[in-house]
Chain A
Amino acid sequence: MIPAGVSHTSSHGSITDVSVHWPTLGEVWEVLSFQAGYNTNLVMLGTAFLGIGAGTIGAFALLRKRALVADALSHATLPGVAIAFLIGSWMGVSRSLPLLLLGAVVSGVIGALCVQLIVRYSRIREDAAIGAVLSVFFGVGVVLLSYIQNMNVGNQGGLASFIYGQAAAMSQTNAIIIGATSLFACLLTFAFFKEFRVLCFDSTYAAAQGWPVQRLDLLLLALIAIITVIGIQAVGLILVVAMVIIPPAAARFWTERLGVMTIVSATLGGLAGYLGAAASALLERLPTGAVIVLIAGGIFTFSMIAAPARGFVAHAARRARLRLLILEQHILRKMHEQLETVAGGADRHADASVSIADLASERNWSTLRLRVALRWLSARGLLNRHNHHVSLTESGAREAARTTRNHRLWEAYLVRNADIAPSHVDTSADLVEHVLGDQLVQELERELKAEGVLLPSPHPIVATHSAREGKS
């Protein structure tokens, strides 16, 4: 029902016969360095500019939680395109690009506004509103297209390019339109950077401060609409949303700062466009739009895993380090407590040892975990390992005393100020003792001393190393 000639660009023999022609390094360099001919360069530049513009706008769309509104908007352009085509053919100008783009922008914005109206005036939630607008507008477009297809008007083939995109057939006019629009969108974003920042992070505050929130939202929507519509020509209306969502979502992993994120997002978007167009020029049967999205997806996955700021590996490493720290402090404290009961006092010999079996029985520590932690502690010079025993070193003893002291100070605080029963306080203190800063410990000390509360904790509060050092 849609004019043919969209996706079947080439037809070879059976799939098993098709041998992939892998490009040589020289060819790759030729394409990447813009030496592969005018058309290829045009496509690469056009999609790169599209990526830059979409990445810039997308950063704000993502943070304003408008990511999928862009999806509704892009689908909603279809009826506008069809109507513009009908008007065009009625006026005798068959398939004039500006008219089609205008129709696309208008109906896209109407669709996005419909989403907002539905959310505002009915009990239908935003997700359902987006989905409904997206499918119904697209459905209207499909009906209109089926009507157009049956008309005796030539030159309809271009209409399908709005659905799947035709980056490979990008003309000079298209590339210039994309570049200019993208530049314009970037400049506007730069001009309204402060406004958009307030809008994205705290729109209620912005409204209370007297910012014209609604108009700013509309401006952002208009920018999304413009960039979406020019993107549709290249990557198609189903996939253009990826250009708006994926680069900023990937950029978010690299930084916590909005300015940096916007620049990173624009760069990643541009990179995806450039590499995607290059790949589809180098390899056969790779539709440009889809390849751009796949490359953006690859960048996203890499960022999600490897970015140092918020990436998965960095995050997991931080968590693992924290868990190790907690385990370490628990072991030290247990050792301190054991030595305390054996020696019967806070002062004990640094070389007094504790059996590993005793330690293991203290908590649900698996042997393996305990051994790893002990090895780590001995590597840090906090304890000495013997056959079945471990003993604290001088610095280990100090650290153990400090940890125990934090634990008991916090226990005392909880018993006194949070009304927790002394028999229950141990676990609660367990959770907090690791994150007590020096300053907080001093404050706790001062407060407890001022009130003359010495030992509400079930355990004695050990002297700190500084106190001991002061004595000696």
Chain B
Amino acid sequence: MNITLDLFLQVDLPALLAATLAAATCALLGNFLVLRRLSLMGDAIAHAVLPGIVVVFLIASTRSTLPVILGAAAAGLLTTILTELVRKIGRVESSASMGVVFSILFALGVVLLEQAAADHVDLDADCVLYGQLEDVSWFAPVAWTSFLELETWRDIPREVATLAIVFFVSAFLVTLFFKELTIAAFDSALATTLGFRASLLHYGLMALVALAAVASFEAVGSILVIAMIICPPATARMLTDRITMQVWLSLLFAVISAVLGYGLAAFGPGFFGGEHALSAAGMMTVVAGALMTLAIVASPSHGVIARRVHQSRLAASVVHEDLLALLYRFEETQQANPTVDLVHSHIRRGAPGISERALRAGFRSALKAGEITKNNNRLELSSAGRARAMEIVRTHRLWERFLVDEMGSRPDHVHRTATTLEHLTTQPMERELEMQAGAASRDPHDRPIPPKPAPNEPTPDKPTL
């Protein structure tokens, strides 16, 4: 397929513009839906605008933009209100009430559509579902310079113009009410106590969603509306904890999905020798879904991989510390340096369910830090290792003291709890424990609590009981 400039400007550019604007508008509003766990309201509204559009058509016999938009927005609001009504009056769980309402409204839309179809109406459910991105065309521009002429802009496709207006209205309102929307998204009760009507804000947001859904449906279809309301914000949420950042990221992902999706659909098949373009709206949702999957798996802060790495590091460091403490206890009881196998079995007994990998990683990190040495398959603490081991055992026994003295636990029940806590104890916590322990120098099992090494003290000697 050859791409000429004027073909690009007349066919691809307007389609791209429409798709990008639609995606950005939906993603912008979607942020607040996703945070409020109302994502499916976007789904419901996107389905339920159908009867609104058809009713307007049947009454006014027009497909001009304004009445259709008003009808659809009314249908969207109706969905919200009916859902709320069914939830309250019928005491039906909220997601189920949403499902009841939107499927009935969609069915109504399909029936009405069938009536309208008798009238040779150029309007069918397909168009609502997938949109007609391929039909958006802009004949005026023939070269880049055309955009400098006013004539070109006068000929801007209706869909693009509508979407641009809806986008800017949404952006304006979101900026204006950003603080309120944020508070309501995280804590609607707080919003109400702060004195602004959270419910009014809610209905306002829903009206905007309906507006976005209907402005987008002609160009990109309702399926893309749902995807763009949910995927880019969810992707952004995987990457950041800050709402402002999330909104910007979601816009970025929406634009990427639109452009990349369109590119793949329109030009992708050409690379593989295909002749026909694929569905652009479908491809955009695929890209949005792929981005989301990528973020779920690979997000540096909240991704599956990052969490796995973090967990295995934590497990290794626990093994590392357990190992040091164990060797210290061997020294305490004047036993010979234990063999590797013995240590393995001790640690496994102490932390059942620990993975083989974590075990090996813990050993490696202790060896690498020079805190233990291995001779003839027997393990020994180095002096640096002993200093750290003392710290750990000290924390452990201070915790045991605390648990018995202050929490009233029985001495034979505290070991496991202390083993967990010793890895999580910060310096201030330790000072606090020290104060609580007071003059006590022995733990509940009558073993000495190791002293705190002074900053410049020489290497501690081997301990004695």
Contact = CB atoms under 8 A, between A and B. Distances in A.
A164 B282 contact: no
A124 B58 contact: no
Nearest to B91: A310
A300 B96 CA distance: 12
Contacts of B47: 238
A231 to B, nearest CB: 12
Nearest to A122: B296
B99 A242 contact: yes
Given A142-B223, A150-B276, A285-B115, A122 B103 contact: no
B106 A150 contact: no
Nearest to A123: B302
A193 interface: no
Contacts of A136: 227, 231, 285-286, 288-289, 292
Contact of B89 (A122, A125, A138, A312): A312
Contacts of B125: 6-7, 164
Nearest to A147: B278
A67 B223 contact: no
Interface in B280-302: 281-286, 288-289, 292, 296, 302
A190 to B, nearest CB: 23
Contact of A252 (B92, B111, B286): B92
Q: Indicate the member of A9, A139, A239, A245 with the most B CB atoms within 10 Å.
A: A139
A146 interface: yes
Interface residues of A, number: 66
B224 interface: yes
Contacts of B260: none
Contact of B289 (A6, A15, A139, A252): A139
B100 A7 contact: no
Given A7-B113, A127-B95, A304-B89, A135 B285 contact: yes
Interface residues of B, number: 73
A253 to B, nearest CB: 7
B107 A249 contact: no
B38 to A, nearest CB: 7
Q: Which secondary structure characterizes the binding site on chain A?
A: helix
B107 to A, nearest CB: 4
Given A7-B124, A11-B117, A239-B107, A131 B130 contact: no
Contacts of A90: none
Interface stretch (A290-298, A334-342, A384-392): A290-298
B117 A132 contact: no
A67 B96 contact: yes
A297 B82 CA distance: 13
A246 B304 CA distance: 37
A140 B129 CA distance: 14
A142 B111 contact: no
Given A139-B284, A139-B285, A139-B286, A132 B111 contact: no
Given A238-B106, A249-B100, A290-B107, A15 B114 contact: no
B237 interface: yes
Given A131-B39, A245-B103, A287 B279 contact: no
A143 B279 contact: yes
23 contacts: A7-B114, A11-B117, A121-B296, A123-B237, A130-B39, A131-B230, A132-B231, A134-B226, A135-B223, A135-B230, A135-B231, A136-B285, A136-B286, A146-B276, A146-B278, A246-B99, A249-B90, A285-B114, A285-B117, A290-B107, A291-B111, A293-B104, A293-B106
Interface of A: 1-2, 6-12, 14-15, 18, 62, 65, 67-68, 71, 118, 121-125, 127-128, 130-132, 134-136, 138-143, 145-147, 150, 163-164, 238-239, 241-242, 245-246, 249, 252-253, 285-287, 289-291, 293-294, 296-297, 300, 304, 310, 312
